[in-house]
Protein backbone atom coordinates (compact mmCIF):
# COMPACT_ATOMS: atom_id res chain seq x y z
CA UNK A 1 0.00 0.00 0.00
CA UNK A 2 1.23 3.46 -0.87
CA UNK A 3 1.34 6.08 1.85
CA UNK A 4 1.42 9.44 0.14
CA UNK A 5 0.20 11.89 2.74
CA UNK A 6 2.01 15.14 3.31
CA UNK A 7 0.75 15.60 6.87
CA UNK A 8 -0.65 13.69 9.84
CA UNK A 9 -3.30 16.01 11.24
CA UNK A 10 -5.78 13.65 12.82
CA UNK A 11 -7.08 10.11 13.02
CA UNK A 12 -10.36 11.32 11.53
CA UNK A 13 -8.87 11.55 8.03
CA UNK A 14 -6.85 8.30 8.15
CA UNK A 15 -8.22 5.20 6.45
CA UNK A 16 -8.29 1.77 8.10
CA UNK A 17 -5.57 0.61 5.68
CA UNK A 18 -3.38 3.57 6.58
CA UNK A 19 -3.78 2.88 10.30
CA UNK A 20 -2.84 -0.77 9.73
CA UNK A 21 0.23 0.26 7.73
CA UNK A 22 1.36 2.72 10.43
CA UNK A 23 0.91 0.13 13.20
CA UNK A 24 2.72 -2.60 11.28
CA UNK A 25 5.57 -0.25 10.40
CA UNK A 26 5.80 0.78 14.06
CA UNK A 27 6.00 -2.87 15.14
CA UNK A 28 9.13 -3.26 13.00
CA UNK A 29 10.64 -0.17 14.62
CA UNK A 30 10.21 -1.51 18.19
CA UNK A 31 13.29 -3.69 17.85
CA UNK A 32 15.64 -0.77 17.14
CA UNK A 33 15.11 0.61 20.65
CA UNK A 34 16.36 -2.68 22.11
CA UNK A 35 19.69 -2.70 20.23
CA UNK A 36 22.98 -1.79 21.85
CA UNK A 37 23.33 0.94 19.21
CA UNK A 38 19.85 2.44 19.06
CA UNK A 39 20.22 4.17 15.73
CA UNK A 40 19.65 3.52 12.04
CA UNK A 41 20.89 5.83 9.27
CA UNK A 42 17.54 6.13 7.47
CA UNK A 43 16.80 9.85 7.91
CA UNK A 44 20.36 11.12 7.83
CA UNK A 45 20.40 14.74 6.76
CA UNK A 46 16.70 15.32 7.46
CA UNK A 47 15.68 18.05 9.88
CA UNK A 48 12.72 17.82 12.24
CA UNK A 49 11.47 20.78 14.24
CA UNK A 50 9.40 20.16 17.36
CA UNK A 51 7.34 23.30 17.87
CA UNK A 52 5.62 23.07 21.24
CA UNK A 53 3.27 25.84 22.37
CA UNK A 54 2.12 23.74 25.33
CA UNK A 55 3.95 21.93 28.10
CA UNK A 56 4.95 18.36 27.33
CA UNK A 57 7.38 15.77 28.63
CA UNK A 58 6.38 12.51 27.00
CA UNK A 59 5.31 13.61 23.55
CA UNK A 60 8.16 16.03 22.94
CA UNK A 61 10.83 13.66 24.25
CA UNK A 62 9.27 10.81 22.33
CA UNK A 63 9.34 12.73 19.03
CA UNK A 64 12.90 13.84 19.71
CA UNK A 65 14.10 10.32 20.47
CA UNK A 66 12.22 8.94 17.46
CA UNK A 67 13.93 11.44 15.17
CA UNK A 68 17.34 10.83 16.67
CA UNK A 69 17.08 7.04 16.45
CA UNK A 70 16.44 7.52 12.73
CA UNK A 71 19.53 9.81 12.50
CA UNK A 72 17.52 12.95 11.73
CA UNK A 73 18.53 16.26 13.29
CA UNK A 74 15.86 17.32 15.75
CA UNK A 75 15.40 20.83 17.06
CA UNK A 76 13.04 21.71 19.90
CA UNK A 77 11.30 25.04 20.21
CA UNK A 78 9.12 25.74 23.20
CA UNK A 79 6.98 28.86 23.23
CA UNK A 80 8.39 30.11 26.54
CA UNK A 81 11.90 30.50 25.12
CA UNK A 82 10.97 31.58 21.58
CA UNK A 83 9.91 34.79 19.90
CA UNK A 84 6.33 33.94 20.81
CA UNK A 85 6.96 35.82 24.04
CA UNK A 86 7.86 38.84 21.88
CA UNK A 87 4.48 38.59 20.21
CA UNK A 88 5.30 36.79 16.97
CA UNK A 89 2.25 35.14 15.42
CA UNK A 90 2.07 31.44 14.64
CA UNK A 91 1.96 32.19 10.91
CA UNK A 92 5.09 34.36 11.05
CA UNK A 93 6.92 31.77 13.13
CA UNK A 94 5.95 29.06 10.65
CA UNK A 95 7.08 31.10 7.61
CA UNK A 96 10.43 31.76 9.26
CA UNK A 97 10.93 28.11 10.14
CA UNK A 98 9.96 27.16 6.60
CA UNK A 99 12.70 29.44 5.29
CA UNK A 100 15.25 27.30 7.15
CA UNK A 101 14.16 24.24 5.13
CA UNK A 102 13.28 21.62 7.69
CA UNK A 103 11.61 18.44 6.42
CA UNK A 104 9.00 17.89 9.11
CA UNK A 105 7.42 20.23 11.66
CA UNK A 106 5.79 18.63 14.70
CA UNK A 107 3.42 21.04 16.40
CA UNK A 108 1.48 21.12 19.64
CA UNK A 109 -0.81 24.08 20.17
CA UNK A 110 -3.61 24.96 22.56
CA UNK A 111 -5.83 26.06 19.67
CA UNK A 112 -7.69 23.37 17.73
CA UNK A 113 -6.82 23.55 14.03
CA UNK A 114 -3.40 25.19 14.44
CA UNK A 115 -1.62 22.26 12.71
CA UNK A 116 -4.14 22.42 9.85
CA UNK A 117 -3.41 26.12 9.41
CA UNK A 118 0.30 25.37 9.17
CA UNK A 119 -0.22 22.43 6.82
CA UNK A 120 -1.98 24.68 4.34
CA UNK A 121 0.66 27.38 4.71
CA UNK A 122 4.04 25.64 4.46
CA UNK A 123 5.44 22.98 2.14
CA UNK A 124 6.88 20.85 4.96
CA UNK A 125 5.12 17.84 6.44
CA UNK A 126 3.17 18.73 9.58
CA UNK A 127 2.51 16.26 12.39
CA UNK A 128 -0.15 17.19 14.93
CA UNK A 129 1.19 16.50 18.43
CA UNK A 130 -2.03 17.71 20.02
CA UNK A 131 -4.25 20.66 19.08
CA UNK A 132 -6.52 22.05 21.76
CA UNK A 133 -9.34 19.65 22.60
CA UNK A 134 -9.42 18.41 19.01
CA UNK A 135 -7.00 15.55 18.21
CA UNK A 136 -3.80 13.88 19.39
CA UNK A 137 -3.29 11.34 16.61
CA UNK A 138 0.07 9.89 17.68
CA UNK A 139 -1.35 9.13 21.15
CA UNK A 140 -4.28 7.23 19.65
CA UNK A 141 -1.94 5.30 17.36
CA UNK A 142 0.32 4.25 20.23
CA UNK A 143 -2.76 3.34 22.28
CA UNK A 144 -4.07 1.16 19.47
CA UNK A 145 -0.63 -0.42 19.03
CA UNK A 146 -0.54 -1.26 22.76
CA UNK A 147 -4.04 -2.77 22.63
CA UNK A 148 -3.15 -4.77 19.52
CA UNK A 149 -0.07 -6.22 21.17
CA UNK A 150 -1.76 -7.15 24.44
CA UNK A 151 -5.05 -8.36 22.99
CA UNK A 152 -3.87 -9.61 19.60
CA UNK A 153 -6.46 -7.49 17.79
CA UNK A 154 -8.44 -4.28 17.97
CA UNK A 155 -11.69 -5.26 16.25
CA UNK A 156 -14.32 -6.45 18.73
CA UNK A 157 -12.58 -5.12 21.84
CA UNK A 158 -14.64 -3.29 24.41
CA UNK A 159 -12.80 -0.14 25.40
CA UNK A 160 -13.96 2.10 28.27
CA UNK A 161 -12.70 5.69 28.28
CA UNK A 162 -13.28 7.43 31.60
CA UNK A 163 -12.98 11.05 32.65
CA UNK A 164 -13.07 14.49 31.10
CA UNK A 165 -14.14 13.59 27.56
CA UNK A 166 -15.10 17.17 26.75
CA UNK A 167 -11.59 18.55 27.03
CA UNK A 168 -9.71 15.46 25.88
CA UNK A 169 -8.04 15.30 22.47
CA UNK A 170 -6.79 11.85 23.45
CA UNK A 171 -10.38 10.65 23.83
CA UNK A 172 -11.46 12.16 20.53
CA UNK A 173 -8.60 10.64 18.53
CA UNK A 174 -9.11 7.27 20.19
CA UNK A 175 -12.85 7.32 19.50
CA UNK A 176 -12.19 7.99 15.80
CA UNK A 177 -9.49 5.33 15.59
CA UNK A 178 -11.12 2.61 17.65
CA UNK A 179 -14.48 2.99 15.87
CA UNK A 180 -12.75 2.72 12.48
CA UNK A 181 -10.89 -0.38 13.60
CA UNK A 182 -14.10 -2.07 14.80
CA UNK A 183 -13.78 -1.73 18.59
CA UNK A 184 -16.72 -0.82 20.83
CA UNK A 185 -16.17 2.33 22.86
CA UNK A 186 -17.96 3.15 26.11
CA UNK A 187 -17.50 6.54 27.75
CA UNK A 188 -18.14 7.62 31.32
CA UNK A 189 -17.70 10.87 33.16
CA UNK A 190 -19.65 13.54 35.00
CA UNK A 191 -22.35 15.09 32.82
CA UNK A 192 -20.40 18.36 32.76
CA UNK A 193 -17.46 16.56 31.15
CA UNK A 194 -19.43 14.76 28.45
CA UNK A 195 -19.90 16.77 25.25
CA UNK A 196 -23.49 17.05 24.05
CA UNK A 197 -24.43 14.63 21.27
CA UNK A 198 -21.20 12.66 21.70
CA UNK A 199 -23.32 9.53 21.01
CA UNK A 200 -23.27 10.57 17.37
CA UNK A 201 -19.66 9.41 17.22
CA UNK A 202 -20.99 5.87 17.63
CA UNK A 203 -20.14 5.37 21.29
CA UNK A 204 -22.10 4.30 24.37
CA UNK A 205 -22.25 6.97 27.03
CA UNK A 206 -22.70 6.45 30.77
CA UNK A 207 -22.53 8.72 33.77
CA UNK A 208 -21.59 5.90 36.14
CA UNK A 209 -18.08 4.58 35.76
CA UNK A 210 -19.19 1.05 36.75
CA UNK A 211 -21.51 0.81 33.75
CA UNK A 212 -18.74 1.70 31.29
CA UNK A 213 -16.09 -0.54 32.86
CA UNK A 214 -18.37 -3.55 33.05
CA UNK A 215 -16.97 -6.37 30.88
CA UNK A 216 -14.31 -4.10 29.32
CA UNK A 217 -11.14 -5.47 27.68
CA UNK A 218 -9.41 -2.12 28.02
CA UNK A 219 -9.95 0.70 30.51
CA UNK A 220 -8.44 4.03 29.54
CA UNK A 221 -8.37 6.66 32.27
CA UNK A 222 -8.03 10.30 31.25
CA UNK A 223 -6.15 12.91 33.19
CA UNK A 224 -8.29 15.34 35.11
CA UNK A 225 -6.96 18.72 34.12
CA UNK A 226 -6.54 20.27 37.55
CA UNK A 227 -6.90 23.79 36.19
CA UNK A 228 -10.51 22.91 35.28
CA UNK A 229 -11.53 22.78 38.92
CA UNK A 230 -11.83 26.55 38.88
CA UNK A 231 -14.31 26.36 35.99
CA UNK A 232 -16.93 24.73 38.23
CA UNK A 233 -17.35 21.66 36.07
CA UNK A 234 -16.85 19.46 39.11
CA UNK A 235 -17.22 20.38 42.78
CA UNK A 236 -13.88 19.12 44.07
CA UNK A 237 -11.12 16.67 43.24
CA UNK A 238 -12.14 14.70 46.29
CA UNK A 239 -15.67 14.27 45.09
CA UNK A 240 -14.51 13.45 41.57
CA UNK A 241 -12.24 10.71 42.81
CA UNK A 242 -14.98 9.24 45.02
CA UNK A 243 -17.12 8.64 41.95
CA UNK A 244 -14.70 8.20 39.07
CA UNK A 245 -11.38 6.94 40.38
CA UNK A 246 -10.32 3.54 39.05
CA UNK A 247 -9.59 1.32 42.03
CA UNK A 248 -9.29 -2.31 43.18
CA UNK A 249 -13.04 -2.54 43.64
CA UNK A 250 -14.49 -1.23 40.39
CA UNK A 251 -11.79 -2.84 38.23
CA UNK A 252 -13.32 -6.22 39.22
CA UNK A 253 -16.28 -5.40 36.94
CA UNK A 254 -14.03 -5.51 33.88
CA UNK A 255 -12.86 -8.67 32.13
CA UNK A 256 -10.31 -10.70 34.13
CA UNK A 257 -7.50 -9.93 31.69
CA UNK A 258 -8.32 -6.22 31.41
CA UNK A 259 -5.50 -3.80 30.64
CA UNK A 260 -5.43 -0.32 32.15
CA UNK A 261 -4.13 2.61 30.12
CA UNK A 262 -3.48 6.27 30.83
CA UNK A 263 -1.98 8.87 28.47
CA UNK A 264 -0.14 10.57 31.34
CA UNK A 265 0.67 12.57 33.30
CA UNK A 266 -1.14 10.75 36.11
CA UNK A 267 -2.87 12.44 39.01
CA UNK A 268 -2.37 9.66 41.53
CA UNK A 269 -5.45 9.09 43.63
CA UNK A 270 -7.62 11.37 41.50
CA UNK A 271 -8.51 9.42 38.35
CA UNK A 272 -6.54 6.27 39.15
CA UNK A 273 -5.47 4.78 42.46
CA UNK A 274 -1.72 4.27 42.76
CA UNK A 275 -1.98 0.54 43.42
CA UNK A 276 -3.75 0.05 40.06
CA UNK A 277 -1.40 2.37 38.16
CA UNK A 278 1.61 0.48 39.50
CA UNK A 279 0.20 -3.05 39.27
CA UNK A 280 1.87 -4.78 36.31
CA UNK A 281 -0.96 -7.32 36.08
CA UNK A 282 -3.27 -4.49 34.88
CA UNK A 283 -1.25 -1.44 34.01
CA UNK A 284 0.37 -1.04 30.58
CA UNK A 285 1.00 2.68 31.09
CA UNK A 286 4.76 2.54 30.67
CA UNK A 287 4.39 0.16 27.75
CA UNK A 288 2.32 2.87 26.04
CA UNK A 289 5.28 5.22 26.38
CA UNK A 290 7.57 2.58 24.87
CA UNK A 291 5.24 2.13 21.89
CA UNK A 292 5.07 5.90 21.47
CA UNK A 293 8.65 6.09 20.22
CA UNK A 294 8.03 3.32 17.65
CA UNK A 295 4.82 4.93 16.37
CA UNK A 296 6.54 8.28 15.93
CA UNK A 297 9.50 6.65 14.18
CA UNK A 298 7.02 5.00 11.80
CA UNK A 299 5.34 8.32 10.98
CA UNK A 300 8.62 10.15 10.45
CA UNK A 301 9.75 7.31 8.19
CA UNK A 302 6.53 7.23 6.18
CA UNK A 303 6.31 11.01 5.74
CA UNK A 304 9.85 11.68 4.52
CA UNK A 305 11.20 11.13 1.05
CA UNK A 306 9.60 11.49 -2.32
CA UNK A 307 11.74 14.36 -3.49
CA UNK A 308 10.99 13.78 -7.17
CA UNK B 1 5.27 -17.18 -13.98
CA UNK B 2 3.18 -15.35 -16.53
CA UNK B 3 3.26 -16.61 -20.09
CA UNK B 4 3.60 -13.17 -21.60
CA UNK B 5 7.17 -12.89 -20.42
CA UNK B 6 9.99 -14.89 -21.88
CA UNK B 7 11.30 -16.98 -18.99
CA UNK B 8 13.98 -19.63 -18.73
CA UNK B 9 14.53 -21.97 -15.80
CA UNK B 10 18.24 -22.14 -15.03
CA UNK B 11 18.16 -24.20 -11.84
CA UNK B 12 15.63 -26.70 -10.50
CA UNK B 13 14.89 -28.10 -7.06
CA UNK B 14 17.71 -30.65 -7.15
CA UNK B 15 20.14 -28.05 -8.44
CA UNK B 16 19.36 -25.69 -5.55
CA UNK B 17 19.68 -28.51 -3.02
CA UNK B 18 23.08 -29.60 -4.38
CA UNK B 19 24.36 -26.02 -4.37
CA UNK B 20 23.31 -25.51 -0.76
CA UNK B 21 24.84 -28.82 0.33
CA UNK B 22 28.11 -27.87 -1.32
CA UNK B 23 28.04 -24.36 0.23
CA UNK B 24 27.36 -25.88 3.68
CA UNK B 25 30.46 -28.09 3.34
CA UNK B 26 32.53 -25.20 1.96
CA UNK B 27 31.62 -22.96 4.90
CA UNK B 28 32.58 -25.70 7.36
CA UNK B 29 35.79 -26.49 5.51
CA UNK B 30 36.92 -22.87 5.28
CA UNK B 31 36.15 -22.17 8.94
CA UNK B 32 37.28 -25.57 10.20
CA UNK B 33 33.96 -26.47 11.78
CA UNK B 34 31.31 -24.17 13.13
CA UNK B 35 32.67 -22.99 16.43
CA UNK B 36 32.15 -19.23 16.58
CA UNK B 37 29.99 -19.24 13.41
CA UNK B 38 26.57 -17.60 13.13
CA UNK B 39 24.22 -17.34 10.16
CA UNK B 40 22.34 -14.15 9.24
CA UNK B 41 19.80 -14.27 6.41
CA UNK B 42 18.75 -11.14 4.53
CA UNK B 43 14.98 -10.84 4.19
CA UNK B 44 13.22 -12.49 2.57
CA UNK B 45 14.91 -14.97 0.25
CA UNK B 46 18.15 -15.04 2.22
CA UNK B 47 16.31 -16.06 5.38
CA UNK B 48 14.93 -19.26 3.84
CA UNK B 49 18.31 -20.15 2.38
CA UNK B 50 19.98 -19.47 5.73
CA UNK B 51 17.45 -21.75 7.43
CA UNK B 52 18.28 -24.54 4.97
CA UNK B 53 22.00 -24.02 5.49
CA UNK B 54 21.45 -24.07 9.24
CA UNK B 55 19.77 -27.47 8.98
CA UNK B 56 22.43 -28.91 6.68
CA UNK B 57 25.33 -27.62 8.78
CA UNK B 58 23.72 -28.81 12.02
CA UNK B 59 23.20 -32.29 10.51
CA UNK B 60 26.82 -32.49 9.35
CA UNK B 61 28.41 -31.23 12.58
CA UNK B 62 25.76 -32.62 14.98
CA UNK B 63 25.60 -29.26 16.71
CA UNK B 64 23.49 -26.10 16.64
CA UNK B 65 24.33 -22.88 14.82
CA UNK B 66 22.53 -19.61 15.67
CA UNK B 67 20.46 -17.93 12.94
CA UNK B 68 19.51 -14.27 12.71
CA UNK B 69 17.15 -12.38 10.42
CA UNK B 70 18.08 -9.03 8.96
CA UNK B 71 15.86 -6.48 7.21
CA UNK B 72 18.11 -3.99 5.45
CA UNK B 73 15.43 -1.49 4.37
CA UNK B 74 16.44 1.21 6.86
CA UNK B 75 20.05 1.03 5.66
CA UNK B 76 19.34 1.36 1.95
CA UNK B 77 21.20 4.21 0.28
CA UNK B 78 18.10 5.27 -1.67
CA UNK B 79 15.65 5.19 1.25
CA UNK B 80 15.60 8.91 2.01
CA UNK B 81 14.51 9.78 -1.52
CA UNK B 82 12.31 6.74 -2.21
CA UNK B 83 8.88 7.87 -3.32
CA UNK B 84 7.22 4.70 -2.13
CA UNK B 85 8.45 3.44 1.21
CA UNK B 86 9.05 -0.31 1.21
CA UNK B 87 7.18 -2.27 3.85
CA UNK B 88 9.46 -2.93 6.79
CA UNK B 89 10.15 -6.44 7.97
CA UNK B 90 11.29 -7.66 11.33
CA UNK B 91 14.97 -7.81 12.24
CA UNK B 92 15.74 -10.50 14.78
CA UNK B 93 19.29 -11.14 15.94
CA UNK B 94 18.97 -12.55 19.45
CA UNK B 95 22.67 -13.13 20.03
CA UNK B 96 25.81 -11.05 20.21
CA UNK B 97 27.86 -10.65 17.05
CA UNK B 98 30.98 -9.62 18.95
CA UNK B 99 33.97 -11.72 17.83
CA UNK B 100 31.73 -14.03 15.81
CA UNK B 101 32.27 -15.12 12.22
CA UNK B 102 29.05 -14.03 10.52
CA UNK B 103 27.93 -15.90 7.41
CA UNK B 104 25.67 -13.43 5.61
CA UNK B 105 23.22 -15.22 3.31
CA UNK B 106 21.28 -13.81 0.35
CA UNK B 107 19.61 -15.29 -2.70
CA UNK B 108 20.99 -13.12 -5.53
CA UNK B 109 24.14 -11.00 -5.56
CA UNK B 110 23.70 -8.17 -8.08
CA UNK B 111 24.88 -4.56 -7.61
CA UNK B 112 26.23 -5.23 -4.11
CA UNK B 113 24.21 -2.39 -2.59
CA UNK B 114 22.08 -4.73 -0.46
CA UNK B 115 25.23 -6.33 0.95
CA UNK B 116 26.76 -2.91 1.70
CA UNK B 117 23.58 -2.03 3.64
CA UNK B 118 23.62 -5.40 5.42
CA UNK B 119 27.23 -4.98 6.52
CA UNK B 120 26.49 -1.54 7.94
CA UNK B 121 23.54 -2.99 9.83
CA UNK B 122 25.60 -5.91 11.20
CA UNK B 123 28.24 -3.56 12.51
CA UNK B 124 25.52 -1.66 14.43
CA UNK B 125 24.82 -4.94 16.24
CA UNK B 126 28.37 -5.51 17.38
CA UNK B 127 31.89 -6.12 16.13
CA UNK B 128 32.06 -9.40 14.25
CA UNK B 129 35.48 -11.01 13.87
CA UNK B 130 34.73 -11.57 10.20
CA UNK B 131 31.83 -11.35 7.77
CA UNK B 132 31.63 -13.88 4.94
CA UNK B 133 29.04 -13.80 2.18
CA UNK B 134 27.13 -16.80 0.81
CA UNK B 135 24.76 -16.38 -2.15
CA UNK B 136 22.82 -18.83 -4.30
CA UNK B 137 23.26 -16.81 -7.50
CA UNK B 138 25.90 -14.28 -8.52
CA UNK B 139 24.57 -12.47 -11.57
CA UNK B 140 27.37 -9.89 -11.93
CA UNK B 141 26.97 -6.13 -12.58
CA UNK B 142 28.56 -5.01 -9.31
CA UNK B 143 28.41 -1.30 -8.51
CA UNK B 144 30.47 -1.64 -5.31
CA UNK B 145 33.69 -3.52 -4.56
CA UNK B 146 31.98 -6.55 -3.02
CA UNK B 147 32.42 -10.26 -3.76
CA UNK B 148 30.92 -13.44 -2.35
CA UNK B 149 32.92 -16.07 -0.46
CA UNK B 150 30.50 -18.87 -1.33
CA UNK B 151 28.55 -18.93 -4.60
CA UNK B 152 25.95 -21.48 -5.67
CA UNK B 153 26.08 -20.57 -9.34
CA UNK B 154 27.61 -17.79 -11.40
CA UNK B 155 24.94 -16.63 -13.80
CA UNK B 156 26.10 -14.05 -16.32
CA UNK B 157 23.02 -11.97 -17.12
CA UNK B 158 22.21 -8.82 -18.99
CA UNK B 159 20.86 -5.75 -17.23
CA UNK B 160 17.45 -5.96 -18.86
CA UNK B 161 16.91 -9.45 -17.53
CA UNK B 162 15.58 -10.24 -14.06
CA UNK B 163 16.82 -13.19 -12.03
CA UNK B 164 14.18 -14.63 -9.75
CA UNK B 165 14.78 -17.22 -7.04
CA UNK B 166 11.56 -19.03 -6.12
CA UNK B 167 11.64 -21.04 -2.92
CA UNK B 168 9.08 -23.48 -1.55
CA UNK B 169 8.81 -21.45 1.65
CA UNK B 170 7.91 -18.31 -0.32
CA UNK B 171 6.36 -19.24 -3.66
CA UNK B 172 5.64 -22.96 -3.25
CA UNK B 173 8.30 -24.08 -5.77
CA UNK B 174 12.10 -24.34 -5.84
CA UNK B 175 13.59 -22.89 -9.01
CA UNK B 176 15.78 -20.13 -10.39
CA UNK B 177 14.46 -18.40 -13.51
CA UNK B 178 15.65 -15.67 -15.82
CA UNK B 179 12.93 -13.33 -17.04
CA UNK B 180 13.31 -11.00 -19.94
CA UNK B 181 12.53 -7.50 -18.78
CA UNK B 182 9.55 -5.60 -20.16
Q: Which residue of A has its CA nearest to B123?
A: A37
A278-301 average pLDDT score:
96
Contact between A184 and A224 under an 8 Å Cβ cutoff? The reply is no
| Lowest model confidence (mean pLDDT) among A8-17, A75-84, A150-159 | A75-84
Please answer yes or no on whether A305 and B83 come within 8 Å at the CB atom.
Answer: yes
Report the pLDDT value the prediction gives residue B181, as an integer from 0 to 100. Answer: 73
- Asked whether residue A263 carries a pLDDT value surpassing 50, the answer given is yes
Report the pLDDT value the prediction gives residue A307, as an integer from 0 to 100. Answer: 43
- Asked whether residue A308 carries a pLDDT value surpassing 50, the answer given is no
- Asked whether residue B90 carries a pLDDT value surpassing 90, the answer given is no
- Candidates B80, B120, B124; nearest CB to A304: B80
Q: Say if A23 is an interface residue toward chain B (CB within 8 Å).
A: no
Report the pLDDT value the prediction gives residue B127, as an integer from 0 to 100. Answer: 94
pLDDT tens-digit profile of A160-219? 999 999 999 999 999 999 999 999 999 999 999 999 999 999 999 999 999 999 999 999
- Asked whether residue A4 carries a pLDDT value surpassing 90, the answer given is no
CA distances from A254 to A99, A238, B104 (A): 52, 24, 49
CA nearest to B24, candidates B42, B11, B37: B37
> Rounded to an integer, what distance in angstroms lies between the CA atom of residue B97 and that of residue B126?
5
pLDDT tens-digit profile of B26-68? 999 999 999 999 999 999 899 999 999 999 999 999 999 999 9
Chain A neighbors of B80, CB-CB under 8 A: 42-46, 304-305
> Rounded to an integer, what distance in angstroms lies between the CA atom of residue A138 and that of residue A173?
9
Report the pLDDT value the prediction gives residue A85, as an integer from 0 to 100. Answer: 79
B130-138: strand order across its sheet:
B67-70, B37-42, B101-109, B130-138, B150-154
- Candidates A3, A31, A42; nearest CB to B80: A42
* Number of neighbours of residue B146 by Cβ within 10 angstroms: 15
CA distances from A5 to A42, A66, A122, B125 (A): 19, 19, 14, 33
DSSP state of A219: E
- Candidates A24, A37, A43; nearest CB to B124: A37
* Confidence band for A114, pLDDT divided at 50, 70 and 90: very high
Report the pLDDT value the prediction gives residue B165, as an integer from 0 to 100. Answer: 95
Distance of CA A38 to the CA centre of its chain: 23
**Do you know the residue count of chain B?**
182
Q: Say if A39 is an interface residue toward chain B (CB within 8 Å).
A: yes
pTM for the whole thing?
0.91
pLDDT tens-digit profile of B7-36? 899 999 999 999 999 999 999 999 999 999
B153-157 average pLDDT score:
93
* Interchain CB contacts (distance < 8 Å): A and B: 58
Strands B37-42 and B7-11: unpaired
Task: Name the E strands within chain A.
Answer: 47-52, 73-78, 104-109, 125-131, 158-162, 184-188, 204-206, 218-221, 259-261
Q: Which residue of B has its CA nearest to A32?
A: B91
A43-51 average pLDDT score:
95
- Candidates B80, B81, B88; nearest CB to A25: B88
pLDDT tens-digit profile of B100-127? 999 999 999 999 999 999 999 999 999 9
Q: Say if A29 is an interface residue toward chain B (CB within 8 Å).
A: yes
- Asked whether residue B70 carries a pLDDT value surpassing 70, the answer given is yes
Q: Which residue of B has its CA nearest to A35?
A: B125
Report the pLDDT value the prediction gives residue A232, as an integer from 0 to 100. Answer: 77
Q: Which residue of A has its CA nearest to B76?
A: A42
CA distances from A89 to A33, A102, A139, B80 (A): 37, 19, 27, 32
DSSP state of A272: B
DSSP state of A231: G
C-beta contacts of B61-67 below 8 A and 24+ residues apart: B61/B28, B61/B33, B61/B34, B63/B34, B65/B34, B65/B37, B65/B38, B65/B39, B66/B38, B66/B39, B66/B94, B66/B95, B67/B38, B67/B39, B67/B40, B67/B41
Amino acid sequence: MKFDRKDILGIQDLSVDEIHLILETAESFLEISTRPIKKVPTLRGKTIINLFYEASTRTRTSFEIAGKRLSADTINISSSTSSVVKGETLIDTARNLEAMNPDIIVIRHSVAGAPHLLAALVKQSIINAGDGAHEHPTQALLDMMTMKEHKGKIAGLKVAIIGDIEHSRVARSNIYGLSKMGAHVALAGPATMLPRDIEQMGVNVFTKVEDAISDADVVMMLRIQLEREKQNIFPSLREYSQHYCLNRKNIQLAKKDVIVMHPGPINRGVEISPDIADDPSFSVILDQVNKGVAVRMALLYLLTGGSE
Amino acid sequence: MSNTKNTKTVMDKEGIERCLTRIAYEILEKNKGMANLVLVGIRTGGVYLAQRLQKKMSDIEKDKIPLGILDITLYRDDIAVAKKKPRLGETKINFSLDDKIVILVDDVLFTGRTIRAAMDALIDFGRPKMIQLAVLIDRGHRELPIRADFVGKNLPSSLWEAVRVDLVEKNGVDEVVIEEGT
